[in-house]
Amino acid sequence: MATSRAVARRGRWGPAVFLQAGIVTLWMAAFLLARLLEHSPHASLWFPPAAVTFSTLLVVGVRALPAILVACTLATFVAELQYSSSVRPAVLAASSVAFAVTHGLAYGVPALLLRRQPERAPADVTLRSVTRFILLGMMGAALAAVCGVLALTATGLIQADAPGRLMAAWWMGDFVALLTFAPLFIRWAIRAMAAAGLRGAVGFSPFIIDPTPAAPSAWLKLGAMAAVTVLLLVLAHGLQERALLLALLVVPLVLQLWVVHSESRTAALHGVVIFSLITVGAGALFNVATDVVALQFAAIGLAVNTYFGLAVPALYSTNERLREQVTRDRLTGVMTRAYFEDRAGHELERARVRGDYVGVILFDLDGLKSINDTHGHAVGDAVLAHLATRCASAVRPGDLIGRLGGDEFAVFLPDADVVVAERVVARMRKALQSAPLAGPVAQVCASFGWAVGRAQDSGIAGLLREADKMMYERKRQLRHRPVDSV
C-alpha cells in the first residue's frame, strides 16, 4: 500500500516538475536571446521572457510562480556577471528577490484579470477580447518597467543616469515581445499542460483554436512577406534613410493583412512572430540603434492590425445577428413591420420614378383566438409560423413579405396590377391547402385582401387600408364558413 502511494505521488509530481523545468528553460532561452539584442544597458529591442511570464501565468496560474522565481534569479545572476566586475552576493540576493517579485506581480495582475473572463466559444476572436489582451499587456509591461527599474536601482544592480528613459526603453521592449509572442506561447502552454495531464485556464484565449487548419498557401504567403521584409530592411539600411524604413515597412503590413483575411489564425500568428524576428534581428545585425523605436512600432503596428483583423469575422457575425434581429421576425422568419415598411417605401419611390403600378396584399390567420384557447399558445405560434412559411414560398422573387403584428401579414408587390395580385393570392391559398400542418390544427386557413394603384398616386398606408377593407369584407361574407375562408 505504501509503495502504491509513493508511485502515485511520483506520478503526480512528475508532470509538475517537467512543467516547471520547461518554463525555466523557455524563459532563460528567451532571456539569453534578448541579451543579444540589447541596444543599451538593460534595454533590449524586445524582451521575450515577458511573453513567457504572461502566458504561463495566464494558462498555468500561480503554479507557474516557482519556475518564474527561479528564472528571474538566474537572469539576475547573468546580469550581475555582465555589468559588474565581480559578483556581489548581497546585491545579487536582494536584486533576485526584487526582480522576481516585481516581474511576477506586474504580469500576474493582467493575467489574473484575463483568467477571470467568462468562458467563450473556442473559435471566438472578438474585439473585446483582443482589446483587453492588448491593453492589459501594455499595463503589465509598464508595471514591469517602472517597478523593475525602481527596485533594481534601489538594490544597486542598476546605476541609471536617466531612469525615466530606461523605463521607457524597458517598457517598449517588454510590450513588443509580449504582443508578438504571447499568443503562440499561450498555445504552447496549453498543449504542454494537456501533455502533462494537468488542467490549465482556457476561459480566455482568443488565440487557441483554429476553425480551419493552415493551408500550404499560407506558408507561401508568409515566405513572401518575410522575403519582402528582409529586402526592404536591407535597402533602407544601405541607403541610411530612416524615413524610408518607416515608409517601406508598410508593405509587409499589407502582405500580413492579406494572410489574416485569407488564411488560418495559426498562419496569421506565425506571421506576427516572423515579422518581429526579422525586424529585431535586423536591429541587431545592422546595429541600427537610432531605428529602435521605428522597428518596435512597426512590430507593434503589425501585431495590433493582425489581432483586430482576426476579430473582424466575429464582428461581422455579431452585426449579422443584430441585423437579423432587427429585420426578421423571430417567430415567423418574415420581415419585421419596421423593416417591411422601410423596404416597401424604397420600392415605392423607385416605382414612382418608373411610373409603375404597385400592389399590396394583406392577410391574417382565421381563428387564432380559438386555436390559442383550445390548444394553447405554442400551437398558435406553430400555426402562425406555418402560415408565414407557406405564403412566403408562394410570392414572386422581389416581392416583400412582413409581419405587421399578431396574426396580420402584408405583401408588397412591385410592378404589379390586379391580375398579378390575384395570382399571388391564389398561389398562397394553394400553398396552404397543399401542405397541412402536422398537429391538432391540420388545415391552416387565412383571409386575404389586396389593393393595386399607380405609385404616383398611392402610398403604403393607403394601399394597406384598402386591402384591409377588402379582407374584412370577405370575412363578413364568409362568416358562415368558419373553416374554408377561400
Nearest to 192 by CA among 62, 21, 74: 21
Q: What DSSP line would sit under 395-456, residue for residue?
A: SPTT-EEEEEETTEEEEEESS--HHHHHHHHHHHHHHHHHSPPSSS--S--EEEEEEEEETT
Are residues 341 and 313 part of one domain?
no
Do residues 255 and 221 touch, judged by C-beta distance below 8 A? yes
pLDDT tens-digit readout, 258-288:
888 888 888 888 899 888 888 777 666 665 5
**How many Å apart are CA 251 and CA 271, to the nearest integer?**
14
Which are the contacts of 223, defined by CB distance < 8 A and separation ≥ 6?
Answer: none
Do residues 200 and 189 touch, judged by C-beta distance below 8 A? yes
| C-alpha 177 chain-centroid distance | 22
Do residues 184 and 205 touch, judged by C-beta distance below 8 A? no
Expressed as residue numbers, the domain containing 77 is 2-324
Is 371 part of a structural domain of the chain? yes
Place of cell 370577405: 474
Is 330 part of a structural domain of the chain? no
Is 373 part of a structural domain of the chain? yes
> Which pLDDT score, from 0 to 100, does residue 28 have?
93
pLDDT tens-digit readout, 69-98:
899 989 988 887 777 767 788 888 898 889
- Assign residue 460 the CATH number of its domain: 3.30.70.270
pLDDT tens-digit readout, 465-480:
999 999 988 888 766 5
Q: How many domains does the chain have?
A: 2
Is 486 part of a structural domain of the chain? no
Nearest to 450 by CA among 436, 465, 437, 430: 465
Is 11 part of a structural domain of the chain? yes
Are residues 266 and 146 part of one domain?
yes
Are residues 36 and 141 part of one domain?
yes
Task: Give the residue-averaged pLDDT of 341-351.
Answer: 90
pLDDT tens-digit readout, 29-54:
999 888 877 767 777 778 899 999 99
Are residues 320 and 441 part of one domain?
no
Pick from 14-28, 83-97, 117-131: least confident: 117-131
> How does residue 5 score in pLDDT terms, banded at 50, 70 and 90?
very low
Are residues 266 and 216 part of one domain?
yes
Are residues 209 and 111 part of one domain?
yes
Is 441 part of a structural domain of the chain? yes
Helix, coil or strand: residue 363 = strand
User: What are residue 402's phi and psi, to 5 degrees?
Assistant: -145, 160
Helix, coil or strand: residue 358 = strand
Are residues 302 and 179 part of one domain?
yes
Are residues 343 and 301 part of one domain?
no
Helix, coil or strand: residue 44 = strand
> How does residue 243 score in pLDDT terms, banded at 50, 70 and 90?
low
Nearest to 360 by CA among 486, 465, 475, 446: 465
Among 324, 356, 384, the domain boundary falls at 324
Question: pTM for this structure?
Answer: 0.68
User: What are residue 358's phi and psi, to 5 degrees?
Assistant: -130, 160
C-alpha grid cell, residue 249: 515597412
Which are the contacts of 139, defined by CB distance < 8 A and separation ≥ 6?
Answer: 109, 110
Is 165 part of a structural domain of the chain? yes
C-alpha grid cell, residue 410: 402584408
Are residues 300 and 354 part of one domain?
no
**How many Å apart are CA 277 and CA 78, to the nearest integer?**
23
Are residues 444 and 312 part of one domain?
no
Do residues 54 and 68 touch, judged by C-beta distance below 8 A? no
Among 289, 324, 359, the domain boundary falls at 324
Which are the contacts of 362, defined by CB distance < 8 A and separation ≥ 6?
Answer: 404, 408, 409, 410, 411, 448, 449, 450, 464, 467, 468, 470, 471
Are residues 28 and 128 part of one domain?
yes
Place of cell 516557482: 66
Are residues 394 and 320 part of one domain?
no
Do residues 286 and 274 touch, judged by C-beta distance below 8 A? no
